[in-house]
Each structure stands twice: as C-alpha cells, then as structure tokens.
Chains A and B, each alone.
Chain A
Amino acid sequence: MTTTAGTKEEAGLQDWTQGAASVLVSACRSCGTRWYLPHAACPSCGSDDTARLPSAGLGVIVAVTVIHRRASGGEPVGIALVDLDEGVRMMARCPTSVTVGDRIALGFVSAHPPADTPLVPSCQEAT
C-alpha cells in the first residue's frame, strides 16, 4: 500500500495507510493551511513548501453512520467523519454509540479481524 511520501525532510514519516499506527496532517509553510488527503501542493495557495506532522489524535464527531452489510454477514460497522483539533477532517471507524458533537480520541483497529492488519483509524469517546 503506497501513498504520497510527503516532503523530503519527512520522508521517514509513515501513516496508517503505510502500516504505522499514526495519523499525519499536512501543512503549508507559506499560508498555514492544513489538510488530510494527499495533495500535489497546498490546496489554498499552491505552494509546494509543505510539511507533514503527526496528529495528537483528538477531535470531534461531525457525522456518524452504522453500515449494515447483509451480504458480508459481518457485524454492523460504525463510520464517522472527525474534525481533528489540527483543523482537518478525516474518516474513521467508531463505536455505534457515538453521536455528532462527541469529543473523541483516535486509536487503531484491524480492518478485517481476526487478521491483525491492515490497521485503520478508530475513535473512542475521549475520557
């Protein structure tokens, strides 16, 4: 599994899409804009002077759903959109009990248990 590698100085940083238990946030050194999904350059000002930094993993639920997939036969899966405190929006697994507005902390779970990998982000109500 590959993603964009970030800038040279953060080439060593890896996020959960590369198997690391980490969420990375991109930031523009020119205008300060932050984003989550890979972009070729800053989506606000176009600068390619960008950095990736680890998220503290705290945020708020802005939308939540529980997906019921009959054919796969598995348990219903909770999915949320989370606004991280770093100012970006991401998608994560969540317990079916969370609601919009809840403060959450991110962790990681296996996407396809009982296999250990791949890891995907998952949130729990912050304590």
Chain B
Amino acid sequence: MHIGVRRRRGGGLNVRLERASDCTGMIQIESNGADAVVLKNALLAAGVAGAVDGNDFLVSCSWLRAEAGVLQDDPAWRRAFDALIRLHQADDRYLLQMDAVRVRAVEDHGPQAGGRAALGWITGIGITPFGVMPGVSALEWQTRAATEALADAGHCCDDVDALLVGYATTLGHLMPANLLAEYLGVRPAIAFGLNVGGATGLAMLAQAVALVSSGAARCVLVVAGENRASGQSRERSIDVLAQVGHRHYEVPVGANVPGYYALLASAYLHRYDLEPTDLASLAVQMRRHAVDHPGAQFRSPISVGDVLGSRMIATPLRLLDCCPISDGGAAVVVEARSDSGRDVAITGLGHANRHQHICEANLDDLGARRSSQAALAVAGVGLDEVDIAGVYDSFTITLALLLEEIGLAPPGAAGRLAREELFSREGDLPVNTHGGLLSYGHCGVAGGMAHLAEVVTQLRREAGERQIWRRLRRGLVHADGGVLSAHVTVVLETCTEAA
C-alpha cells in the first residue's frame, strides 16, 4: 500500500491517500501510541470496513482508497494520521524521496534490511554462460535464464503475474514480453517490453519494484537474452548499435558506438593528462575476475601490454578496451515479500536521463551522479557504506567515467585505482567480480543484468570460488544505455547481514 504525503514548505505534512492498491490483503496499522488509538477509534466511529485484532486495527486497502477523501475532512482523523506518519518516519520505516517535494510512505512487507523497508525483493536469479554459441535462438536464451530464475525463486510459470522482457536486436519483435510469455507458457496479467539500451535490465527491475510495491503484481519475472554474436553478422550488430547516434547529424558522419565512446575517452585522457595504459588496467582487472567464473566468455589472463598491443578499434580504444559481442541470457524474479534468508532486498532506486546524443552530453553531468545519489538517498546510505559494486563497462572508458561520476573513484583516478587492485575481490571496493561486459561478455540487455546477478550472488554468499569472504551488507549496481544517455542505479542489501 502507498500512502502519498505531500510535504508542506516549512516542514509540515499534508496527508493525502493515493495510489492505494487493489490488493486483497489487510494493512495493519500499528497501535503503539495514543495517536494510533485515536486513529483506530476514528476509523471505528466512521464505520470503517475492517477488523480489530488485539490492539491493532486492520483495514483493507480498497476501503482506504475509496474513503480517503471523506476521512480527510475529519480533523481528528487527520491529526491522528499525521502523527502516525511522523511516528513511522521517526522509526525510519518510511522513505524520503530525493526531490524532497514528495514523501512516500511504503508499507513494510517483509524483514527489514539495514533498518530500511525493502522496496521489493529479488527472490530468484538466472544467468547463463556468455560466449559465441551458435544454434540457440534469442527466445531460447531468454527461456533458459527465465527457467533458472523461476526455479531459484521456487516458483513455476503459473505464479508469474507480470513478465517484463528486454529488446533483442536479433529478434526485432514489437512485443518481446508477449512472445516469450507464449513460448514459456506464462499467462501474466501484465506483460511489456522495454528499450533503454544497456540500462534496460535495471530499468525493468525498477518497473518490477513499482509493480510489486503498488500491489499491481505479486511475482514479476524480468528476462533478457539474445544470440547477438551468432544471430547476425558482426557488422550488422555494429550498424544496429550505431543508431543510438543522431540519425541525421551523427550517424552519416561515419561514427559507430566504439567511436562515440572513443570520443569520450579522448576528452577524458586529455582532461586528466592520462595515457591509454591507465584505461587498460581496468580491462586487466575485469579479465582477472573472469578467470574464476566458469560462465565467462574470456578466461585467459591478460596484461596491460596485451591491451596496448591489441588491434586498434577507434583511437584511443583498442580491441581489449571494448566488450565482445556475445550470446546469453539473464533473468530475475522480484516479489513484494521475502520468505527466505537468500532473498536480497532492493532498498534504493535512482534514474537519470540527461541527453541522448553525445553532441548534447554535458561531460560533467552525464547522469550517473544524479542517478546514484537518488538511489543512495532512497536507501538512506552513503557511498562509503557500499561493499561491492556492479558497474556497466561496455568499454574501459565507460567504467572509468561511471566510477568517477558516481564517486567510487576520484576524477581521473579509476585506472590508477584498478592498477592498485582496489577493485579486486580483496580490494576495498570489489567491482564486477564476474568479469563485467569486458570479459564475462555482452549479449545486450542481459549483459547489463549480469552485474546484478553477480552482486546478488555475492550478497547471498553463493559465489563459490570467487566469493568475497569479508562481510558484505550492501551492493550498488549501475547501468547506462546509449552514449552514457540513460542511467539507472540500484542499491541491494542482504537481510541476514543487515545490522
């Protein structure tokens, strides 16, 4: 249930019930305190459809929605309700949104994570190996990942009431979620596809959270998969991806996606007086992680010399500065409630979309800072409380720019910190412990979900040989789409490790 509260300038709260869901369950209004008793009595006196359970008064969401307007006119009810909201805010159980104009109270559905109410729970994940594996269709990659995620969550197809599916360039289908639903044997009430480039996976996760927290869905399956390496030629993939550039003013000039990112790298190296060797150390670290993951596309260690000696793609980016084109799939199950210590709480979400084309990008404000700060504010934590990160790394420059704008590395220092092994499993901030897009591989939307799957796996302490053994309470996952155009950040917390 949502209780929308508008914050008055000057600090007071102007309560207005909104977006109460249609869920059939009862919402429990705790009666610990005189204010709650007043509220309870007011509800009873008003002839509210509900039930008394000991000291608690239970009321249905649909009733709250239907009657909100009438109740607002009752001053006693309003006073009590205002007080109750304040009580819960003091309890830290309600979330303050970044823009400080809206305060949204979210009913807590499960175990507390880090003292914060979870926005939703990741109850299952599925991630296939990535690589060049001909003979498997995009739909089949999606199916493999979805089946694995459902089994991991302990659900069957019948349990899924919302299915969200990312675009696949090799499919080019108008209705990817409906297509997969039919193939998989799911008949969801809600189904839709989503396209925001590399940020699609996390954007779908955010929509899944919105669906479960509003009560519109109970069990959301989020899926991506594509035979991007085997289902079309390499040139075709590059040409399709180049279309994130401006159709009339950029693409005809002759650039492609490596070219757009190479331009960002050129400006970056010039600004901080760095050399390509600084970016190369990020590729080396990603490969070192992938060596220990059996699903990674590339598992042979590389050196800075190997990166600098690889074929030039678009100066200053060489082949090993660029992610490969891969086949594979990934999926997650999101639910409102948790019933297992393996479940991982989503406690923060943030977005930013500042530009589409590189010509319009503000290189000092690409969107990653806004997105990550918004997510951290919702989670109520600082960057220094993040124990592990999954950060989009389509190119070495992508990882450098994102780490620095998020604030996980000082400006110009990402490469140096990688060289000093800060981002290794033993370092202060492990990053992309599966190997990232650069070495685990990049099959499109699922590539950006692999970071999510890895952080969940590490928080669950199920990463086997590559498990980080020190305590992990909290992870941050960030993805971008286009030319650092679309940004989504997610904060994840364990329920067992939380204080």
> Residues of A with Cβ closer than 8 Å to B?
1-3, 17, 35-38, 62-72, 77, 79-81, 89-93, 100-101, 111, 118, 120-121
Contact = CB atoms under 8 A, between A and B. Distances in A.
Contact of B270 (A1, A79, A100, A118): A100
Contact of A81 (B248, B267, B315): B267
Interface centre among B258, B314, B316, B357 (most CB of A within 10 A): B314
A91 B267 contact: no
A67 B255 CA distance: 7
Given A63-B263, A68-B313, 6 more contacts: A37-B360, A71-B234, A91-B250, A91-B255, A111-B252, A121-B253
B254 to A, nearest CB: 5
8 contacts: A38-B249, A63-B267, A66-B315, A67-B262, A68-B314, A81-B359, A100-B267, A111-B252
Nearest to A88: B359
Contact of A65 (B235, B250, B315): B315
A81 B254 CA distance: 13
B310 to A, nearest CB: 12
B4 interface: no
A67 B316 CA distance: 10
Interface in B254-291: 254-256, 258-259, 262-267, 270
Contacts of B360: 35, 37, 89
Contacts of B314: 65-68
A69 B239 CA distance: 11
Nearest to A1: B248
B8 interface: no
3 closest A-B pairs (Cβ-Cβ)? A65-B262, A63-B263, A63-B267
Contacts of A17: 248-249, 252
B86 interface: no
A17 B248 CA distance: 6
Contacts of B265: 65
A58 to B, nearest CB: 17
Contacts of A89: 359-360
A46 to B, nearest CB: 16
Contacts of A80: 263
B254 A93 contact: yes
A5 B312 CA distance: 39
A37 B355 CA distance: 11
Contacts of A121: 253
Contacts of B254: 67, 77, 79, 93, 111, 120
A93 B256 contact: no
A91 B249 contact: yes
Nearest to B254: A77
A47 B452 CA distance: 42
Interface string B350-373: 000000011110000000000000
Given A37-B359, A66-B315, A90-B359, A118 B252 contact: yes
A81 B262 contact: no
Contacts of B316: 65
B266 A100 contact: yes
Nearest to B250: A91
A68 B263 CA distance: 14
Given A63-B267, A65-B315, A66-B314, A81 B358 contact: yes
Given A17-B252, A65-B314, A71-B235, A91 B266 contact: no
B19 interface: no
A100 B271 CA distance: 10
Given A68-B314, A79-B255, A120-B254, A37 B249 contact: yes
Contact of B248 (A3, A63, A64): A3
B88 interface: no
A105 B235 CA distance: 32
A36 B359 contact: yes
Count chain A CB atoms within 10 A of each CB in B264, B316, B359 and give the residue with the most: B359
B236 to A, nearest CB: 10
B84 to A, nearest CB: 41
Interface string B220-259: 0000000000000011000000000010111011111011
B359 A79 contact: no
